[in-house]
Structure formats: C-alpha cells, structure tokens
A and B are shown apart, each in its own frame.
Chain A
Amino acid sequence: MIKAVMMMNTQGKPRLAKFYDFLPVEKQQELIRGVFSVLCSRPENVSNFLEIDSLFGPDSRLVYKHYATLYFVLVFDGSENELAMLDLIQVLVETLDKCFSNVCELDIVFNYSKMHTVLDEIVFGGQVLETSSAEVIRAVEEISKLEAASNAISLVPNSVSGWRGR
C-alpha cells in the first residue's frame, strides 16, 4: 500500500502532500521535513530508493525522482514493487505534463485542487487506480468540464479568469 505522495521543491517547500493514513498536521510537516533533509543531502547518481524506517515505521520504503526544481516522492510498504513505484512517478509526471502542457512548479502551486484531482485518479486510497495517463486525463477533463458547466458563478480557482478582478 502507498502511504504517502509528496511533492516538494528543492528548498523543501511542500507543493503537494497526501497521506493515505491519517496523520495530524504537525506530524505531516515533520515527515515532510524529515524526507527533505534526507533527499537534499543525497548525491546525484545514486539509487532512487531510501530506507525510511526511522520516519515511517518498519517496512517502509521511499522512492523519489528529481525533476528540475521538484522532488516527487512516494512512500509505500513492502507489498509494493519498488521498481513499479518508480514507473508510477513517471506516469504521474507524464500526466501532469499533458494536463498543463509542460508542467512547472508554478502550475502545481496555483492549481492545487486540480493536482489533487489528477492524483486521485491515479492513486486511490493508497492503491494504484489507473496507470494509463490517457485514461487519467480523460477523467480529469470530464470533471473540469462539469465544474465549468454546472455553475455560472464558477468558483473554481483554476478556471476563474481575470474577468472579475477586484
């Protein structure tokens, strides 16, 4: 089971954090900081896996990938295949790339709730839901359409245009 999905930038600012076991917010921050302090001290050209028992309890593994200014991190237990998790990060990144056409850190910062929609279509309650980015995008687009159509006032931040700036 996947225990957590995190994205943070190279300064350690969390950009997206989802924990599939409930943790109080202080604990979440502590874990994010703990993970970051390990990640930022890792040299290039080493494996993408980390022993993380000290932070997440026994039988925890962590896989991460570093893209430009962002770390993508998955924490999971022994029932998942480490190499497949690495591919799952790839799927996630490819999907975001298609969603935002060349995703960058700013897209992630400002489209917080859309990020969650994408993530929820890939990982569901700690289990892998879908691995085809085309399928994921189809579902995400349906949801966006529905949001835009259902309400003329359009309260959704990511679809709000600047027409009613104050």
Chain B
Amino acid sequence: MNPFSSGTRLRDMIRSIRACKTAAEERGVVRKECAEIRASINENDPHDRHRNLAKLMFIHMLGYPTHFGQMECLKLIASPGFPEKRIGYLGLMLLLDERQEVLMLVTNSLKQDLNHTNQYVVGLALCALGNICSAEMARDLAPEVERLIQFRDPNIRKKAALCSTRIVRKVPDLAENFINAASSLLKEKHHGVLITGVQLCYELCKINDEALEFFRKKCTEGLIKTLKDITNSAYQPEYDVAGITDPFLHIRLLKLLRVLGQGDADASDLMTDILAQVATRTESNKNAGNAVLYECVETIMAIEDTSSLRVLAINILGRFLSNRDNNIRYVALNMLMKAIAFDDQAVQRHRVTILECVKDPDASIRKRALELVSLLVNANNVKQLTKDLIDYLEISDEDFKEDLSEKICSIVDKFSPEKIWYIDQMLKVLSEAGKFVKDDVWHTLIVVISNASELHGYTVRALYKAVLTYSEQETLVRVAIWCIGEYGDLLVNNVGMLGIEDPVTVTECDAVDVIEDAITRHNSDMTTKAMALVALLKLSSRFPSISERIKDIIVKQKGSLLLEMQQRAIEFNSILDRHINIRSSLVERMPVPDEAASRARRSGSLPASDSTMSKPSVSIPNGVTAAPLVDLLDLDSDDILAPPTSSGVDFLQDLLGVDLGSSPAQSGATPPPKAGTDLLLDILSIGTPSPAQNSASSIDLLSTADTLSSPAPSSIATTAPSGMFDLLDGLSPSPSKQATNGPAYPPIVAYESSSLKIEFSFSKMPGNPQTTNVQATFINLSPNTFTDFIFQAAVPKFLQLHLDPASGNILSASGKVTQNLRVTNSQHGKKSLVMRMKIGYRVNGKDVLEEGQINNFPRGL
C-alpha cells in the first residue's frame, strides 16, 4: 500500500459507511469513495488496484453502480500475485456478467491459470469459470477442465467436476466428452469428490440420452453399493450430521438413482431393496434423517412399478404430517400433492391428518394443505369435507378466509351432488365470508337458484333469515336482494315449503325493510344499491298493498348523488306514475338463464369473462363507472348474453341493436336466452307503443352510450356512431343473417411466415356497407405448439376496429384458432382497408413476436 495515497482503507470505509445515520449520508460517503476510486483507477497505480476492487465489491453489495471497476478485475486477474488474482476473480464473479464483451478478454487468463503450477490458483480459476462460464468459454476451456477431473488433489477434482456440470449445461454437445471422466469419479472414496461426481452424472443423464443409457448399464449397481456402504457405515465425524452419515451424499445418490430408475424396470428392480432399507432404517427424529427420507420417498414415487414401496413411502409422508416440525409438515404436503397422481387411495387414508393441517397456525402450511384437500375431494367425500371446511371457515383468521372460501366454492361447484345442498353450502359460505368471494361466485349462485324452480321459496326464505344476521356480508346481501325482488311473493306466502323448513312469518313490510336497509346503508356499494332499486321496482308489482311505501323509497333516490341511481330512480318513478298498466309485465319473473351455457362459459372462455369484469372500470367523466350500469341491467352481461362481449360499451350497443329490431319479449313463452332478458331492455321494447316516451329514453340511453364510449381505449374501439347507425336504420346485428349471407368478397391470405399463416374471410352486413365482418383464421405451420397466442391490430383513423375474443389462445401443431373482427370504414368507397398487426405467442418457453402490415384487402370493403 502506498502510504501517501489519498484513499482510505477498506476497513475505514466500512466504518464510515456504518457510522452514517441516514441513507442520504451513506450515499454521500459512497459517492466520495467512488470518486476517489475512479481517480485512482485513472492514475493506474497497480498498488491501489487490490484495495479499490475490494471496496467496489462492498459498494456493489450495498446496491450502487460499480461498472467502472470491471476492467480493474481483468488487470488484477492478469497480475502474477495470488492475493491480486484472488480479489480479481472474486470481482469477476460479482461484478461481471457472462453476456458482457469484457468477458471475452478473460478467457486467455483463465486458460493460463487452469494450467498454473500453484493448485490454489487453479482452484480460483475453476471457481470463477464455474460461476460465469459462457458457451464460448465452455468450448474453449472444456479440455482443461476435463483434464483437471483427474488431478491429484481432491479439492481440485471436485471443483473441476462441478465446473464440468456448468460446461455441459451451457453446451450440451460437450456431454459425451465427460462421460468417462464422470464414471471414474463415482469410484471415489473421498466424500467431497464423490458428491460432486454424482452431481456431474446427474447433469449428464438429464442432458444426454446416451449418457443416461451408459450410466444405467454400467453404474447402477456400483451406485447401489455405494449407497449401501454409507447407509451401513460406522460413525464418520467429518460428514456426520445429527447421527446420519453424510445426508447430502445420501440425497445426491438417491437423486441419481431416481433418474436411472425412471422409465427402466430393470434398474428400478435393482434398487428396490436399498430403497426399502433407507426408507425403513433411517432415523427420523432429526432434520437430516427426514431430508434423506424425503428424498427416498421422491425416488420411490418416480421409479417404475413398486407398489408395495409406494405404500411405504406414502406412510412415511403420513408420519411427516404429524411431525412437530413445521418444515417437515410443509414438505410432506408438497410431496403428497405429487403422490396423489400415483396413488389416490393411499393419500386418501391420511385425509383426516391433512384436514388438520388446514387449521395449522403456519399460513404457508395452511395454504398447501388447502390445495391438497381440494385435490382429494371426490363425489364420495365431498359432503364431509365441505362440512369440515365450512366449520373451520367460521373460526379461521380473517386473512385466510379469502383463500378458504374460494376453495370451498370451487369444490362445492364442482362436486355438488344436488341443488339444495349446493344452495345451502353457498349460503353458508356467503354468510361467513361474503365480503371475500369473487363476483362470479354469486353470479353463478343466482343462475343456479333461478334454474331450481322448486327451491325458489326455500331459498328466498333461507336468504331472508341469513341476511338479518349477516347484513355486513355484501355479496350475501346482493343475492338476498335479488331473490327477494324476484320471489318476494313466495317469501311472504310461504309457498313451496319443504319438510325440513321451520315455518317463518314474514310480512311484506319486513321484506321491504331488508331492501330499504340495503339501499340506505352508507357502506353499501353502488352495485348493491342499484340492485336494491331494481328489486324495489319488482316488489312494487308483487306487493301491491304497500306499493306507495315502495314508491316513497324510490322517490328518495331521485336525490341520490350517484348519477346512475338518480337516473334510474327517475325512470322507475315515471313507470310507477304514468305507466302503471305496463308495470306488471315489465317486472315479470326473469327468464331462466341457461345454466349449462354459463357453466361452459366460465370454464371454457374464462379469459373473456375476466375481461368483462375488469373492463367496466372505464370511468366516465362524471366519476361514475360503467360497471354499475351493467349490473343494474342485472346479471346478464356476464351470464346470459351468449356471445362474450369484451366491454360494457359493446354490451350497450348490443342492447340497442337487438332491442329495436326484435319483437318485444312475450310473456308466457320462454324467450331464447339471447333475446331481451334484462329489465331495461324490456322497458324499452314494451315502451315502443308510446313513441314519445320511447324516443326520450332511447336518446337518453344513447347519450349514456356516447359518454361511455368516448374514453374507451382505442384498441377496443367500438363506437357510438356505429351504434347510432344501427339504431337509426333499425337493424339488428344478428349473426345468423351473416351466415346465410355468404362471403361476397374473396378470402385473402393476410400474412404468412415460416411458422404462421393468417387467412381473412369477409362478410358484410346487409344495408350497412361501411362495416365489414372479418373472420381471421390463424394456422400454425410449425411442428410446435404455440401458447398465449394473441393477435393485435391497429388501423388508421378513418377506420374503426372491433376485436372479438379469439376462439382460443393455444395453437397446437397445424391447429387453428379463429377470431372475429369488425371494421367500420368511414371513408367507404374512397379508401380501402389497411391494417397493421402484431402477433405474440410462446413457443418452447420463448416469447415470439411477429409483425406485419396487411395491404391486400379486396377493393371496395
């Protein structure tokens, strides 16, 4: 060290950093140090290099940029002294990146050091290579490393072995060169070398099939013998952990045997004895012993056909579950989750213990156990398991309720044996954890309820009772409001009493009280209030004797600060005032939504419904969100409309289009689920006879559509103008018409690359020449499967584009996916279509992006 140098020593720097009281102060010290180091680097004094780099590494750990020290690493590595080399290599591993160009310069130094006479220098070089080796370096230095595997000193042999695993991982072609060297390592007596040798073999087997065959034939028996020896060996203090001789080596050997046994009955056969021995004779009162048992279980699960061993293995896991150590329980649950695929029955035997783990104080164990339980459920045990889980739901931690209720709902939904049971269980969940469940849960519940016509009375009474006790559970309140609105008459008249029910006396006033309570409670959210308002309108017809009181409640909402509420209140009030003759037909029972379709939609095109739920947060300027409007119209945007819509805006457009074109929904007949099933729609269509009223409200709805659509992001640019167009022309965009129309324009190949082909076919809506429906077909030309497939398109300003959801996002080899596009050309007849597009997908774990422009649209579109 140069005593005259201005820099401080590392120790002093650390001390002054530690003395800093604030982050700003620390930054100041570090900045000053960095400035000094830079200056010193510029002076290029070889004596300071070592200290500078040591400081830089410390600074790096604290999270400051240190890139200016990279070249110093290389200089230190190239210097002859051992301390310089050591710090240089350390810096190389910490500060540099295998992708950086600087690294090219270091290959030569590494080569020299791998051949150095001092074995510790060789060790340093191996260590650095093992950490940062790139593919080019692997190719250049593989012969040196291969030679070092035979080195006399065990310390170098083991490092060379691990360095080789990195090399073959980077360049799998080199695997062949290492097979012989690796098999010689398996005969080692030195535990440290043996463990690295086993790791190298494991890596080779994973990478190279020839290597796997070779080791399977030549080494299986030897490995079994080694494992037997260390299992039976006497006490070895160096490698002893809690009474087990070298558990790490045990584990590595078991891992390698797993690879060798997998898919090969003969090899599996050879190892059954030793596996049984390890499984039965390993001490299980310490972590080390359990680690070995755990690995042994995993190996037993993976190798071929040893059903008696598997039972043994699952019993070990069962024992783990009642272990006092949290860690053991945790790994056991993980493993049982894998085991369930092999032997459901054996895992089922431990159901009670697993259920206990759901109540574990440790959150991560609870979560695992819950996942495992949901895998264990089948038609036979669903009732018992659900009961246990719901019982626990009552007493569980608040923050666990969300996970738990979600799992219970999915179990109930999947395995429910009968409707009444389903409804009972869901009501229990909503009562206990109603504020945690997701929207689609209660949406589905309502669909199920309306489909179970013989249970309407029972359900509405049960809900009425529940909501009196659990009025703080928002979703329970919503379902209750909806059902009371729909089936209020069944509630007060005790219609359809089941044998199991206790009779209740509910007056009409009591029922309205519940709804009034919900609409006036300050913490009810907009959706609940909106649903309550609709329920009131329904009840005003169902309970004619107290319709004045109901009207009062509705009138109060005319002063609501929420625009939506205010507007609906005014509309509903005018229905009650001026159109009393149509009221009863307006609020008839909702047509029963198609349960199968809603179920299929939820499981099939979940992404579509997700987007429906997240989209409505499009906010309109006056601060009201679009969501409540959709909800106001009742559940249909999610559950009834057959074509999945991608936004609330779109839905409104559909609403207008369908409504004016189709005839009013007639009472008595069961209308198709697609036609007007929601209330507002009914209002509009039935209102047609009185033209003044109709035009007033449709304009008003249109203006809503207008405000709604203006802030909509351009990527889903559906537009008010096209909606208006439909409206004025009185057309309905009905898909059946398009189908019969047939393509008037020839289909085109819009895009073709080596892996993907896109075809467009066109159709026009009659009477609407501006709008073209495009069906895009994506064809996978490659032999690989594309996942997460997404098609995006952009058009110039004079065009408007609407994308429907694609039929899927996975393209199997030579598979197809279709997607509908709707293009509206405002310069129809003057300009032809043009489109830019971007396609993204994943293939073999890599993201691929393709882009292109489509100019070859047929003229006149």
Contact = CB atoms under 8 A, between A and B. Distances in A.
Given A49-B330, A116-B90, A81 B291 contact: yes
Nearest to B249: A131
Interface in B13-57: 14, 18, 47, 50-51, 54, 57
A102 interface: no
Given A46-B364, A156-B83, A166-B3, A28 B90 contact: no
A64 to B, nearest CB: 11
A31 B796 CA distance: 43
Contacts of B191: 131-132
Interface in A72-88: 79, 81-84, 86-88
A130 to B, nearest CB: 5
B516 interface: no
B660 interface: no
Contact of A132 (B14, B165, B238): B238
Most buried by A among B93, B99, B361: B93
Most buried by B among A18, A48, A129: A129
B131 interface: yes
Interface residues of A, number: 62
Contacts of A81: 251, 255, 291, 294-295
Nearest to A138: B155
Contacts of B329: 47
A51 B333 CA distance: 13
A110 B11 contact: yes
A50 B364 contact: yes
Contact of A25 (B63, B130, B131, B192): B63
Nearest to A83: B291
A106 to B, nearest CB: 9
B50 A155 contact: yes
B272 interface: no
B61 A17 contact: yes
B199 A128 contact: yes
A157 B11 contact: yes
B364 A18 contact: no
A155 to B, nearest CB: 4
Contact of B81 (A124, A142, A151): A151
B9 A160 contact: yes
Contacts of B87: 113
Contacts of B192: 129-132, 135
A16 B326 CA distance: 27
Interface in A13-72: 14-18, 20, 22, 24-26, 28-29, 32, 45-51
Nearest to B199: A127
A139 B159 CA distance: 12
Contacts of B288: 83, 87
Nearest to A116: B90
B269 to A, nearest CB: 25
A134 B362 contact: no
B240 to A, nearest CB: 9
Given A47-B326, A86-B327, A128-B248, A14 B163 contact: no
B500 interface: no
Contacts of A24: 97
A112 B57 contact: yes
Contact of A113 (B1, B90, B166, B287): B90
Most buried by B among A120, A124, A151: A124
B616 to A, nearest CB: 27
A47 B365 contact: yes
B362 A46 contact: yes
B842 interface: no
A104 B131 CA distance: 28
A164 B1 contact: yes
Contact of A26 (B9, B63, B83, B247): B63
Interface string B118-152: 10100100010011110000000000000000000
Nearest to A159: B83
Contacts of A164: 1, 3
A87 B247 contact: yes
A100 B85 CA distance: 24
B162 interface: yes
Contacts of A157: 9-11, 51, 54
B226 interface: no
Interface string B166-206: 10000000000000000000000001100110010000000
A109 interface: yes
Contact of B247 (A17, A84, A146, A166): A84
Contacts of B54: 112-113, 157
A81 B335 CA distance: 11
Given A22-B97, A132-B191, A124 B162 contact: yes
A129 B196 contact: yes
Contact of A14 (B62, B127, B331): B62
A90 B94 CA distance: 24
A45 B196 CA distance: 34
B711 interface: no
A109 B14 contact: yes
A16 B82 contact: no
A90 to B, nearest CB: 8
Contacts of B199: 127-128
B662 to A, nearest CB: 49
B566 interface: no
A49 B368 CA distance: 12
Most buried by A among B118, B120, B158: B120
B330 A150 contact: no
B241 interface: yes
A143 interface: yes
Interface string A117-145: 10010001101111110110001001100
Interface in B69-92: 81-84, 86-87, 90
Nearest to A33: B63
B201 to A, nearest CB: 13
A82 B81 CA distance: 40
A135 B238 contact: yes
B290 interface: yes
Given A22-B97, A22-B99, A49-B330, A155 B63 contact: no
B833 to A, nearest CB: 41
Contacts of A90: 241
B98 interface: yes
Most buried by B among A25, A112, A154, A166: A25
A17 B81 CA distance: 26
B267 to A, nearest CB: 20
A84 B14 contact: no
Nearest to A124: B162
A117 B64 CA distance: 22
Contact of A29 (B63, B94, B159, B326): B63
A129 B158 contact: yes
Nearest to B80: A150
Contacts of B11: 110, 157, 160
B757 interface: no
B361 A124 contact: no
Contacts of A151: 81-83
A14 B94 CA distance: 14
Contacts of B9: 157, 160
Given A47-B326, A87-B287, A125 B166 contact: yes
Closest 9 CB pairs of A and B: A83-B291, A125-B130, A47-B326, A29-B63, A46-B362, A157-B10, A22-B97, A155-B50, A131-B248
13 contacts: A46-B362, A82-B327, A82-B330, A110-B14, A124-B162, A125-B162, A129-B192, A131-B248, A131-B249, A132-B192, A142-B120, A151-B83, A156-B50
Given A81-B251, A87-B248, A150-B83, 7 more contacts: A51-B367, A109-B14, A117-B86, A125-B133, A125-B166, A155-B51, A157-B9
Interface of A: 14-18, 20, 22, 24-26, 28-29, 32, 45-51, 79, 81-84, 86-88, 90-91, 109-110, 112-113, 116-117, 120, 124-125, 127-132, 134-135, 139, 142-143, 146-147, 150-151, 153-157, 160, 164, 166
